[in-house]
Structure 1
Amino acid sequence: MISIVSGLPRSGTSMMMSMLEAGRIPLLVDNCRKADASNPKGYYEFKRVKGLREGDAAWMPEARGKAVKIITALLYYLPHDYTYRIVIMRRTMSEILASQKKMLLIEGKCPDTVSDDELNRLYEKHLLQIKNWITNQPNIKYIEVNYNRCLVAPNTELQRLDEFFDKQLDVEEMISVIEPDLYRQRK
C-alpha cells in the first residue's frame, strides 16, 4: 500500500505530510525544494512524482509503505498495479486562492491572470472530477481531510484519519506539530 497526500496547491498538503511523519508514517521525500517564506517548515516533496504524467513510475516500489505528496492533477497517472490510500486535503477555497496569490507575489510572478471566481469554478470542477475518478478505481481508497478543522478541532479530523490508517497513527504526536501561527491566509 502506498499512502498519498493530495490536494490543490496551498491546501495543507505539507502540513499533512508533517503530521503523518509525526504520526509514525515513513515519508518519501527528497528535500530538493527547500523551506522558504511560503512554507517555513518545508514542502515535503519528492521531485520524481512530476514525471508520472510522462510515465515515470520506476520509483513507485520505493513508495511502498510510505506517504508521498502528489497534487490532484497527477493522480490520474498512478500505475494501476499498486494499491493506494489517498488523503485529499480540503481548505476553504478563498484561502487557497489568497495563499496562491501571496506565493506568486513572493516569487515575483503576476497572480492576477485569471479571476478568483473563474479559478474557484475550475478548481471545484477539477476536485469533483478527481473524486468521481477515484470512486471508480478498485485499487484506491480515499478520505477528505479539512485543513481548517485540523487547526481548530484536530482531534475530530485526526481520529477519522486514524481510522482510515487502520489505527496505526500517533494522533497526539500529529496534533503536536500543528502550528496555527502558519495559518496566515484566513478568510
Structure 2
Amino acid sequence: MGGFDEYYEKAFVIEVKDSLYYKGLCYSKGIGVERDIQEAKKCYLDGINKKISKCYYGIGIIYLKEEKYDESFKYFGEAFSDIYIEAENGDAVSQKMISCYFLFGDRGVGKDIKKAKKWLILSAANGDLESQLILADSYKYGKIFEKDIDKSIYWFEKATKQGYSEAEV
C-alpha cells in the first residue's frame, strides 16, 4: 500500500505514533472519509494534547486557511524544532513540512528556496506521494523550481508506481 491510501491506513487501521495527525489529514482532505474540517481540528487538538508535533502543523494549516494568522503562526512556531528533528531522522512527512516552512517563509522561518527544494526532494525520495506530485508539477510548469520536463516525468512515474492514476505528463 502506498500513496494517499497509506494516510488512511495510518489513521484508522494500524496504530502509529502519529495516528491523530493522519486522521486529521484524512478529514481535512477527504481521504477515505467525508471532508470535515471541524473533525480535522478535533483530531489535531487531541494530538496536541498528546504532544504530537505534526498535529501542531496540521492545526496551523487550518488556521492559516481560515486567516487566523496569530494562532496559525503560534502553532507553526511550536512545531518547527520537533518536526525538524523528525525530518533529519528521515520522516518523509516531516521533510515535506520543513520544505513548506522554507518555501513560504511565513511560518516563523525565513524563505529559502534552496532549502525548500532540498527537503521536498528528500521527502519525495523517501516515498511521500504528495511531495512527488508537487515536484512533478513544479518541474512541469516551472512554478517553484526551474522547468525540467525530464525531472517532471521522473517524479510523475514515481507517483504512478505508488498507484497515483491521474499522473499526466
**Common fold: TM-score over 0.5:** no
TM-score by length of 1: 0.27
More helix per residue: 1 or 2? 2
TM-score by length of 2: 0.30
> Could you say which structure has the greater relative contact order, defined with CA pairs below 8 angstroms and 6 or more residues apart?
1
More strand per residue: 1 or 2? 1
